[in-house]
Amino acid sequence: MPAKFRHLVLILLIALVALVWIEVAQGDEAECQECVTINFLDVGQGDATLIELGGDQQLLIDGGPDESVLYELGRIMPLYDRTIEYVMLSHPHSDHLVGLEKVLEQYNVGQVITADIETNESNNQYWQSELSRLTITQKLARTGQEMNLSNGVSLKIFWPKAVPAGNVADNQLNNLSIICELVVGDEGVVFLGDAMANVQDEICSLLPDDIENVTIKAAHHGGDGTVSDCLINRTQPEEVVISVGANNSYGHPVQSTLDYFDNKNISVIRTDTVGTYSKVLK
Ligand SMILES: [Zn+2]
């Protein structure tokens, strides 16, 4: 075969392989278009979870302490998708809030789910003013609400029942965190914000006890006094995810929290050891 034809055959073969590869890649993507994937993002000492609801819709719960959330979003979100349909702020502490301010700069946000707490903290004031400047719809989260997001995913809100009027002291913010469960068929993920065990005890009977596969995003980075025996016994989680920074100055997670889950044979996943942890629900 003349050299010219050998080259032509080679080029055609390469083109064929490339076409097959693209088809396979697209096939995978199409299969996952309706998947619901929970990504517990590695944002250091803070919380940020990106939930891919299917059909290019997302819910982002908290944004972590800085712009590292943007790197994680860039890695996971499709390049062409610059809109996050739902953003939730569990409570206005900077390790949950500051990343969300960066998200507002880089993405269109459909609506914000918030406990709507007033504090003197400068980050919170900036956040509130940005939300009004950008005229983003805010949905107030209160005990007993249920939101149907999309693709059969529902979001049940258990806490807070109410928030005090006027400025709320910094040390009260953790216990005003939004506590919610994302339910997809017989699977659920419980988000506890930074709410302490006493608040979890108060609402534990409201949580469904008939969901087969439950994952819990641990409260307050696995700190002291953050595990409610009542809530764990009711939901029977298979897995607990602790969002925490390596060698953080708070000593999170504390040994008693780790021992508790160990004694219950519940596996613990930590973002400081595994990085971003992704779990496909359906
Ligand atoms: Zn926190």
Residue 27: its pLDDT value, please? 43
**pLDDT value of position 19:** 59
HSE, CB side, 13 Å, CA atoms: give it for residue 111.
9
Residue 210 within any structural domain of the chain: yes
> What's the mean pLDDT in 51-58?
95
pLDDT value, residue 26 = 46
| pLDDT tens column, 149-199 | 988 899 999 999 999 999 999 999 999 999 999 999 999 999 999 999 999
Question: Where do the H-state alpha helices sit in 33-121?
Answer: 68-76, 94-106
Ligand 1 centre to CA of 42 (Å) is 14
* Helix then strand then coil, % of the chain, to nearest 5: 35, 25, 35
Q: How far is the CA of 238 from the centre of ligand 1 (A)?
A: 23
Q: Is the pLDDT of residue 29 over 70?
A: no
- The end-to-end CA distance of the chain, in Å, is 53
Q: What is the percentage of the chain residues whose pLDDT exceeds 70?
A: 93
Question: How far is the centre of ligand 1, averaged over its atoms, from the C-alpha of 151 (Å)?
Answer: 30
Using pLDDT thresholds of 50, 70 and 90, give the confidence band for residue 62.
Answer: very high
Distances (CA, A) of 67 to 21, 31, 211: 34, 31, 35
pTM of the model: 0.89
Q: Could you give the CA distance from residue 54 to residue 189 in angstroms, rounded to a whole number? A: 16
112 burial type by CB count under 10 A (0-12 exposed, 13-18 middle, 19+ buried): buried
Does residue 59 lie within any of the structural domains?
yes
In this model, does residue 206 exceed pLDDT 80?
A: yes
Which residues neighbour ligand 1 (ion) by CB within 5 Å?
Answer: 95, 194
Q: Quick check: is 24 in a domain? A: no
Average the pLDDT over 84-102 and give the result. 97
Nearest C-alpha neighbor of 47 from the set 280, 242, 257: 242
**CA 242 to centroid of ligand 1, rounded, Å:** 11
Which pLDDT tens digit goes with each residue over 268-277? 999 999 999 9
What's the gap in Å between 266 CA and the centre of ligand 1? 22
Phi, psi angle pair for 158, to nearest 5°: -110, -20
| d(C-alpha 192, C-alpha 229), whole Å | 14
pLDDT number for residue 20: 57
Domain holding 204, by residue range, is 33-280
Q: Is the pLDDT of residue 207 over 60?
A: yes
- Residue 5: per-residue pLDDT: 72
Residue 71 has a pLDDT of 98
In a domain, 211, yes or no: yes
Number of domains in the chain: 1
Distance in Å, CA 257 to ligand 1 centroid: 16
Q: Is the peptide bond before 160 cis (omega within 30 degrees of 0)?
A: yes
C-beta separation of 215 from 279 below 8 A: yes
C-alpha–C-alpha distance, residues 171 and 195, integer Å: 11
**Is residue 196 in a domain?**
yes
Over 60: is that where the pLDDT of 137 sits?
A: yes
- Burial (CB < 10 A; 0-12, 13-18, 19+), residue 238, is middle
Using DSSP bridges, classify how beta strands 239-242 and 213-217 pair: parallel, antiparallel or unpaired.
parallel
Q: Tell me: the pLDDT tens digits for 67-78? A: 999 999 999 999
Q: Which of the four pLDDT bands, split at 50, 70 and 90, describes residue 94?
A: very high
d(CA 64, CA 94): 8
For residue 249, how many other CB atoms are within 10 A of its CB? Answer: 7
Average pLDDT score over the chain: 92
Of 31-45, 93-107, 130-144, 180-194, minimum mean pLDDT range = 31-45
Mean pLDDT throughout 211-234? Answer: 97
Does residue 270 sit within a domain? yes
Q: What is the pLDDT of residue 28?
A: 47
Query: Residue 16: pLDDT above 80?
Result: no
Strands 267-270 and 239-242: parallel
Give the CATH number of the domain where residue 261 resides. Answer: 3.60.15.10
Task: Quote the ligand 1 centre to 57 CA distance (angstroms).
Answer: 26
Asked if residue 11 is part of any domain, the answer here is no
In a domain, 171, yes or no: yes
Q: What is the mean pLDDT of residues 32-40?
A: 89
- What is the model's pLDDT at position 151? 86
